[in-house]
Amino acid sequence: MSYHLLECYDMKVKLRRNLLQQRTKAVQRLGDLCEVLRGTLLERMTQCNKRGCKCMRGEKHGPAYYVTVTYAKCRTRQIYVSKERKAVASAWIANYGRVWKALEEISRINLELLRLKEDGPTVLPRGSRKGIQEERIS
């Protein structure tokens, strides 16, 4: 085997090892998946239209908070969120963004692993949350 082929093989091995390490880190960033929410937190000021009310002079009521989620076929659902629960809703929405970014990273890495055409991509066993142990697809 020529030196050039060995060098290329070493580069592939190092690249694969690096990709697997990156993927393990991305899996660890997923964290606890229980507290995620896909949606948008909205703040609204409302007007009741009652005569003599401050809102008729421009001072609107509120703020009121809502979480809105859009489903397939353009169906949207909104729910009211109390001021006390606003921080929880905001954190869950932020967690969703973090999880989404990690999944995109994992997907990008897996695509690269497939491109390397090695003996099979490495996957996490079912139930593994930390990504420490890995097994090969047969």
d(CA 105, CA 42) in angstroms, rounded, equals 28
pLDDT per residue as tens digits for the range 62-99 = 999 999 999 988 899 999 999 999 999 999 999 999 99
Q: Mean pLDDT over residues 2-29, rounded?
A: 77
Count of Cβ atoms closer than 10 Å to residue 36 Cβ? 19
pLDDT value for 127: 56
**Which tokens is 45 given?**
């000021």
The residues, any chain, with a CB within 8 Å of residue 128's CB and separated by 6 or more, are none
pLDDT per residue as tens digits for the range 102-135 = 999 999 999 988 888 755 445 555 555 454 444 4
Q: Is the dihedral of CA 8, 9, 14, 19 positive or negative?
A: positive
pTM: 0.68
Geometric angle at alpha carbon 13, from 31 and 105, rounded to 5°: 30
